[in-house]
Amino acid sequence: MIGKLISSALRRKEHPDIGENFGDAAMPDEALSFPPMQPLHPPPAQNDDPLQPLCEAVESELREAGFLR
């Protein structure tokens, strides 16, 4: 990392015109004019209790067997 920093600094001293040939980096206003982003909302939770169907099935079987009223 330091080697790259030193080599780029030395290169600029040897070739001071490097970096001046790139022109203006500013983007035109039409490229930056876009509508604001809609806020993202997570979908509603569907599997809050994955054992709920199992509990309902066991409860219905116990009711049919006469163990629950």
pLDDT at 14: 63
What letter represents residue 24's amino acid?
D
pLDDT in tens, 9-67: 776 666 656 555 555 567 778 877 888 888 899 888 777 788 888 999 999 999 999 99
pLDDT of residue 26: 74
| Model-wide pTM > 0.85 | no
Contacts of 18 (CB under 8 A, 6+ apart): 11, 12
Contact 55, 62 (CB under 8 A): no
